[in-house]
Structures are given as structure tokens and as C-alpha cells.
């Protein structure tokens, strides 16, 4: 098979990332994370756009260097079109439009959430490749979705969140515990020395097919407010147990919902995607319950869990194979799958 190179760029939130793929294989991936937001306790959109502007040229140059290829070698360009922060998306879209105009190479716009799901189709990461149809639980800072993937271009959201996303619930919970942003990875680390059954937090009733996380966060807030009234050091003295119990509530709720809903669909392969799939408890629970129920489970490598351009490259490649017609690409902050 002759080579088919795709250059992809992702800039929807706080990661500036570029990747080069050859068909479905990643040749090189370079991701610059923006540390500037830490001091503000969340992503500051204007600062994200500025950081993308200064990162994008060095990141794209680095990916060409790493792959030992040039723009002339590319067959296709792909960029995240949405959803995401307007200013952040603009930087990637404007940059890739310019590259496309200057080089005459075709450009495709990619949905970021499709990207998270289709990252499983990147070849070389699993011993056995994922098969369609499959079901994917996407858990990130902004989204919680169960996606039914019929083919590489036919994706259907069958469940979503009514309020906070799973990652948001972890980040906001961490903030209540006085932990720095983003709290998810820190909660994961501190939980390792805590008791997941030390405290109980309220999770929603499991009859609806959509998720809801805002009650869980409020339950943590009321609990620590009550406890710190009698012991001002309650959080510091119990931080490991608090993290472990809160994380456990989020993960068990996610898993109960996912496995109950996915039973309704005829799939053999199930997958995890998005930044929260880096969580160690979620990974082990997904694996354990999946195997118990007879599914083949797919959990991406860490670099393909969080925001990255390789997932944009694979989705753009599939999109282009199906419909190689050029269309105007504009940032779509609220783009749906
Ligand atoms: O997909 P992602 O990189 O960005 C988008 O939101 O699109 O996901 C980021 C989210 C954040 O909420 C972060 O706290 C969470 O993923 N996260 C984790 C872990 N690593 C990242 N949450 C729990 N445990 C982790 N190890
Ligand atoms: Zn994401």
C-alpha cells in the first residue's frame, strides 16, 4: 500500500498538539500543555488562545522534524473544528487553512468528540484491533457521553450528561478540597492511600439513561461544610479518604450507568475515551466489569486519552475517505457529534 500522510492539529482547549499519520498509524505526535492556567484554577480562554498562537508553529515544526517529513509529503490536512473554545479553535483553523491554501493540500474539519472515540482505531496500540460496532464511554473535562460507533463515520450519542461532565465533577470536587487545577489527576494520586468506603456521597438514581453529576458535588460540599464546623482541620486530616471516597462515587456511578445502558445495544467491543480515562480506578473497574460481562475492552494509551492531534488525524482520514469534497471550515464552539 502506498503512503498516505495526514497532518493534524488540535487546539480546542489548553493543549496545542500536532500529529502525522500514515493511513491509520501514528508516525509522530507532539503535544504542548499550557501550564499558564494552573494559577487561575481553570482554563482562561484568552490565555489559551495566546498560548496556542505562540505554540503552534514550534509544535508543527517539531512534528515534521520528528517524522522526518515535510509539508510536501502530506496528502491531507485535518484540524479540530469544534466543540471547544472559540478563540482557541480559531488559532488551529486559521493556521491550517493558511497551510492548505499555500500548499494546495485538502483540509478536513474534525469534531473533537468524534476524535476521542476514533482514537481507538489508531493502529499499533492494541494487540487485537477494535471491531465495529462498538460502544465508547467518553469522559472528559467538558463531556460525558456514551457513543455507539456503527462505522468509522457513523457515530451516535445514546447518553449524555444533564449538567456537569465527569471530569468537571472531579475537578470541582478537588477544588472544594483545596487542591490545585486540574484536580482529576491529583484526586487519582491521593486516592491511592485512601479508603474508598470511608464516606458515602449521594449519586443519582440509576433509572435515567443520562448522567447527572451536580448532586454529587453538592453532597461533597455539604459534607465538608458540616464536618469543618466541628473540626476546622477535617479536610487536611482526611484528604486521602475524601479523595478515594469521592472518586469511587464518580467511578462506580459511571460504570453502573454504562454497563446498564450498553446492554441495550448489540456490541461485543467496549471502549473508554477522554481525559478521565487516564484515571486508574476507572481503568481497572472498566476492565474488571467488562471482562466479567464478556466484552472485549479497549482503553487507550495515556497519550491518546487526553487531548491530542493523533485522534484528529485518524478522524480526518476516515472523513476524507468517505467524502473527499472540500468545504469551508469555521470554528464551531458548540458542535455536536
Ligand atoms: O479530554 P481532556 O484532556 O480535555 C477535555 O476536557 O476535552 O480531559 C481533561 C479532564 C480534566 O477534567 C482532568 O481532571 C481529567 O480529564 N483527568 C483525570 C485524570 N487525568 C486527567 N481525572 C481523573 N484521573 C486522572 N488520572
Ligand atoms: Zn477532549
What tens digit of pLDDT does each residue of 32-87 get? 988 877 777 778 888 889 999 999 999 999 999 999 999 999 999 999 999 999 99
**What is the whole-number distance in angstroms between the Cα of residue 306 and the centre of ligand 2?**
6
Q: 139 and 288: one domain?
A: yes
330 in any annotated domain: no
CB-defined site of ligand 1, < 6 Å: 13, 140-142, 167, 170-171, 182-185, 188, 274-276, 278-279, 306-307
Within-domain flag for 151: yes
pLDDT tens-digit series, residues 44-56? 888 889 999 999 9
Pair type for strands 154-160 and 144-151: antiparallel
Domain membership of residue 238 (yes or no) is yes
Tell me, yes or no, whether 237 and 112 share the same domain: no
Pair 114, 144 in one domain:
no
**Would 217 be classed as within a structural domain?**
yes
CA of 75 to the centre of ligand 2 (A): 25
- Whether residue 164 contacts residue 213, with contact meaning beta carbons closer than 8 Å, is answered with yes
143 and 292 together in one domain? yes
The total domain count for the chain is: 2
Q: What is the pLDDT of residue 33?
A: 85
pTM of the predicted protein model = 0.94
Instruction: Calculate how far, in angstroms, residue 294's C-alpha sits from the geometric centre of ligand 1.
Output: 28
pLDDT score of 41? 76
Query: Which of 244, 275, 312 most suits a substitution to test ligand 1, by most atoms within 8 Å of the C-beta?
Result: 275
Residue 16 falls inside a structural domain: yes
Cell numbers for 40: 487561575
Which of 22-61 are b and which e, b meaning 16 or more Cβ less than 10 Å from the residue's Cβ? Answer: bebebbbbbbbebeebeeeeebbbebbbbbbbebbeebbe
Residues 88, 111: Cα–Cα separation, whole Å: 14
Same domain, 174 and 291: yes
In this structure, the answer to whether residues 192 and 163 fall within a common structural domain is: yes
DSSP 206-269: TTSSSB--HHHHHHHHHHHHHHHHH-TTHHHHHHHHHHHHHHHHHHHHHHHHHHHHHTTS--SE
**256 lies in a domain?**
yes
Q: Do 104 and 225 lie in a common domain? A: no
Ligand 1 centre distance from Cα of residue 272 (Å)? 13
Q: Minimum mean pLDDT among 119-123, 150-154, 201-205: which range?
A: 201-205
Same domain, 151 and 285: yes
Same domain for 52 and 162, yes or no, is no
Q: What is the mean pLDDT of the chain?
A: 95
If one residue of 17, 48, 184 were mutated to test the ligand 1 pocket, choosing by the most ligand atoms within 8 A of its CB, it would be 184
Write down how long the chain is.
337
pLDDT score for 208: 79
Say if residue 332's pLDDT is above 80.
yes
CATH number, domain with residue 286: 3.30.420.40
pLDDT digit string, tens, across residues 98-145 = 999 999 999 999 999 999 999 999 999 999 999 999 999 999 988 999
Asked, for residue 333, whether it belongs to a domain, the answer is no
Sign of CA dihedral 104, 95, 153, 288: positive
| Ligand 1 mutation target, pool 84, 111, 167, most atoms within 8 A of CB | 167
User: Is 161 within the bounds of a domain?
Assistant: yes
Q: What angle do CA 239, 242, 243 make, to 5 degrees?
A: 85
Rounded to whole angstroms, the Cα distance separating 333 from 13 reads 10
Q: Are residues 81 and 22 in the same domain?
A: yes
pLDDT confidence of residue 46 = 87
The mean pLDDT of 219-231, rounded to a whole number, is 97
- Between strands 25-33 and 76-82, the pairing is unpaired
Query: 93 and 145: one domain?
Result: no
pLDDT-based confidence at residue 11 (cuts at 50, 70, 90): very high
**46 and 21 in a common domain:** yes
Print the domain residue range for 114. 5-119+304-322
How far is it, in rounded angstroms, from Cα 124 to Cα 174? 35
3-state class (DSSP) for residue 25 = strand
Report d(CA 192, CA 189) in Å as an integer.
Answer: 6
Amino acid at each position: 500500500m502506498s503512503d498516505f500522510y495526514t497532518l493534524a492539529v488540535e487546539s480546542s482547549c489548553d493543549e496545542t498538539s500536532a500529529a502525522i499519520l500514515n493511513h491509520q498509524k501514528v508516525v509522530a505526535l507532539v503535544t504542548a500543555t499550557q501550564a499558564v492556567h494552573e494559577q487561575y484554577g481553570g482554563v482562561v480562554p484568552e490565555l489559551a488562545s495566546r498560548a496556542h498562537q505562540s505554540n503552534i508553529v514550534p509544535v508543527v515544526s517539531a512534528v515534521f522534524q520528528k517524522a522526518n517529513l515535510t509539508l510536501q509529503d502530506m496528502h491531507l490536512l485535518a484540524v479540530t473544528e469544534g466543540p471547544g473554545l472559540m478563540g482557541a479553535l480559531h488559532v488551529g483553523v486559521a493556521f491550517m487553512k493558511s497551510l492548505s491554501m499555500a500548499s494546495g493540500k485538502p483540509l478536513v474539519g474534525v469534531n473533537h468528540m468524534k476524535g476521542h472515540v476514533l482514537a481507538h482505531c489508531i493502529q499499533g496500540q492494541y494487540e487485537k484491533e477494535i471491531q465495529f460496532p462498538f460502544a465508547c464511554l467518553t469522559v472528559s473535562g467538558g463531556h460525558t457521553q456514551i457513543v455507539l460507533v456503527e462505522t468509522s463515520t457513523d457515530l451516535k450519542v445514546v447518553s449524555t450528561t444533564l449538567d456537569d461532565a465527569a471530569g468537571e465533577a472531579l475537578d470541582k470536587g478537588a477544588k472544594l478540597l483545596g487542591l490545585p487545577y486540574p484536580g482529576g489527576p491529583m484526586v487519582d494520586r491521593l486516592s491511592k492511600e485512601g479508603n474508598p468506603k470511608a464516606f458515602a456521597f449521594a449519586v443519582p438514581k440509576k433509572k435515567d439513561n443520562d448522567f447527572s453529576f451536580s448532586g454529587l458535588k453538592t453532597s461533597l460540599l455539604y459534607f465538608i461544610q458540616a464536618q469543618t464546623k466541628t473540626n476546622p482541620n477535617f479536610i487536611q486530616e482526611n484528604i486521602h479518604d475524601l479523595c478515594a471516597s469521592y472518586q469511587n462515587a464518580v467511578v462506580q456511578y459511571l460504570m453502573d450507568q454504562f454497563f446498564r445502558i450498553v446492554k441495550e445495544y448489540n456490541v461485543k467491543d467496549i471502549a473508554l475515551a477522554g481525559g478521565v480515562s487516564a484515571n486508574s480506578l476507572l481503568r481497572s473497574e472498566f476492565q474488571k466489569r467488562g471482562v466479567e460481562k464478556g466484552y472485549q475492552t479497549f482503553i487507550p494509551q495515556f497519550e491518546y486519552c487526553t487531548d491530542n492531534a493523533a485522534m484528529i488525524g485518524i478522524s480526518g482520514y476516515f472523513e476524507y475517505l468517505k467524502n473527499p469534497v472540500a468545504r469551508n471550515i469555521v470554528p464551531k464552539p458548540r458542535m455536536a457529534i
